[in-house]
Amino acid sequence: MSVAAGSRVLDLASSFGRPAVPLAKELPHVSISATDLSPASAPLVHKYAASQGVTNVIAQTVDAQDLTDFSSNSFAAVTCSYGFMFMPDLDKALQEANRVLQPGGLLVATVWAEVEKCHNMQAFQGLAKALMGPKFSFTPPWPITDPHELQQHIQAANFEKVTCAEYSHNFQYPIDGFVRLLIGPHSQLKPMLDKLQAAGNNDIYQQAAQALKDVCATHGWLQRGAGVVHLNNTALLFTAVKT
C-alpha cells in the first residue's frame, strides 16, 4: 500500500496488531492508529510493536461503528482485517470509515469466504456435529460471505472503484495446538463442553480432542506421523476509494 509520508492510516478491529504493526514497520513515516472495541487490544498492540521496534503506532479503544474520536477527512487509508464481518451494524461502520477518509482515500478490507471454503470453520462444524449429532444446526459466525452483497454495502457507503479479489490463506498448526484453539479456554465450544461435562460426561474434553483429530484426518488435513494440521481458508480482499 502506497501512502505519502506524514499521512495517517486507521486500522479497525486491530486485535493484537495485525495489520497495524506490519504496516507501521513498512511505512515508518506514516502514523498508524490501531483501534479495537476490546480494551485488551491496546496493550497487545503496544507489546507487538515494541517487539518489532515500531514506534509509529498508537493503540486506542474505539468502536468502529462510532469513530467520533477522529475528525472527518483525516486519514489517507482505512484498513480492516476480518473485522467488518462481525460488526452488528456493518453499514454504520462503513459510513464512519468513509467519513474519516480523505477524498481519494483508500479502504482495504478482508473477510472470510463461505464455510465451504474455510477449513478452520469446517473443522469446527465437524467437531460440533461429532459431539452433538448429525442434526446439530451450525450457523456461521459471520453473516456476509457473498462478495456481491458486501460490495453493495461498500458502494452504499459512498465508495467507488470497489474491487474484490479472492485469495488463499494457508495455516499450519501442531495438532495439539489446533485442539487447544478449538476446545481450549477461549473457544466458542467451551460453554457447550462444560455443560456436557457438568451433565456427567467427565471425559468430554478427551472425546472432543479425539473427534477433532478424526475430523482433520478424514478431510486429509492431518499428517498423523508429523502431527501437523494443514488448513486452507479462502478470503476476500476488498478495496475501495472515497470520492
**What are the residue ranges spanned by the domains of the chain?**
8-112
The model's confidence at residue 138, banded by pLDDT at 50, 70 and 90, is low
162 φψ region: left (φ > 0), alpha (ψ -120 to 50), beta (else): beta
pLDDT of residue 237: 94
pLDDT > 80? residue 97:
yes
Residue-wise pLDDT for 119-133, tens only, equals 998 998 899 889 888
Provide the residue type at 183 as one letter: I
- Residue position matching grid coordinates 486452507: 232
Distance in angstroms (rounded) separating the CA atoms of residues 22 and 49: 9
pLDDT at 140: 66
Give the DSSP letter string of 116-172: GGBHHHHHHHHHHHHHH-TT-----S-S---HHHHHHHHHHTTEEEEEEEEEEEEEE
Q: Give the confidence band of 53 by pLDDT, cuts at 50, 70, 90.
A: very high
Assign a CATH topology to domain 8-112. Answer: Rossmann fold (3.40.50)
Which pLDDT belongs to residue 225?
A: 79
Split at pLDDT 50, 70, 90, the class of 136 is confident
Which is higher by pLDDT, 48 or 185? Answer: 48
Residue 44 has pLDDT above 80, yes or no: yes
pTM of the predicted structure, to 2 decimals: 0.84
pLDDT at site 29 = 96
- Reported as a single tens digit per residue, the pLDDT across 100-117 is 999 999 999 999 888 889
List residues bridging with 166 in a β-sheet.
Answer: 236
- Cell digits for 207? 472425546
What is the tens place of the pLDDT at every residue in 139-169?
666 666 677 888 999 999 999 999 999 999 8
Q: Among 55, 73, 92, 82, which Cα is nearest to 10's?
A: 73
pLDDT band at 230 (very low <50, low <70, confident <90, very high): very high
Q: Which residues of 54-74 are buried (b: 16+ CB within 10 A; e: fewer)?
A: bebbbbeebbbbebeebeeeb
Closest CA to 243 of 186, 147, 162: 162
Mean pLDDT of 183-195: 88
